[in-house]
């Protein structure tokens, strides 16, 4: 039985970029999701796992900014 083709690291970059570009442009969430559909292999959680990983990093980055002592998490 041939092995399943797993998404590549480039697919993960594409998924993150599609989500962030859609959010930056204030696109309809269903439009963003339809753009991710071609990256979603049957019976696989990709790109959802990539987007969860991205979301999990946001609070960590914000906390680091807060600890840096800049008001409002401003970056230099």
**Each residue's pLDDT tens digit, 16-58:** 899 889 988 999 989 998 988 888 888 888 888 888 888 887 7
Helices (H), 37-74: 48-67
11 CB-side CA count, 13 A:
15
Answer whether 47's CB lies under 8 Å from 17's CB: no
Q: Which of 20, 22, 4, 29 is nearest to 57 (CA)?
A: 20
CA triplet 20, 22, 35: central angle to 5 degrees?
105
Percentage of the chain lying above the pLDDT 70 cut: 75
Residue 6: what pLDDT? 78
| DSSP secondary structure letter of residue 42 | T
Residue 25: what pLDDT? 92
Whether the full predicted model's pTM is greater than 0.85, yes or no, is no
Read off φ and ψ for residue 27, nearest 5 degrees: -75, 155
């Amino acid at each position: 039985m041939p092995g399943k083709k797993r998404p590549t690291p480039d697919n993960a970059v594409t998924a993150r970029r599609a989500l962030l570009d859609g959010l930056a442009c204030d696109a309809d969430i269903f439009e963003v999701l339809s753009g991710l559909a071609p990256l979603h292999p049957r019976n696989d959680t990709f790109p959802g796992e990539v987007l969860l990983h991205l979301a999990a990093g946001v609070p960590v980055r914000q906390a680091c900014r807060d600890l840096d002592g800049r008001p409002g998490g401003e970056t230099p």
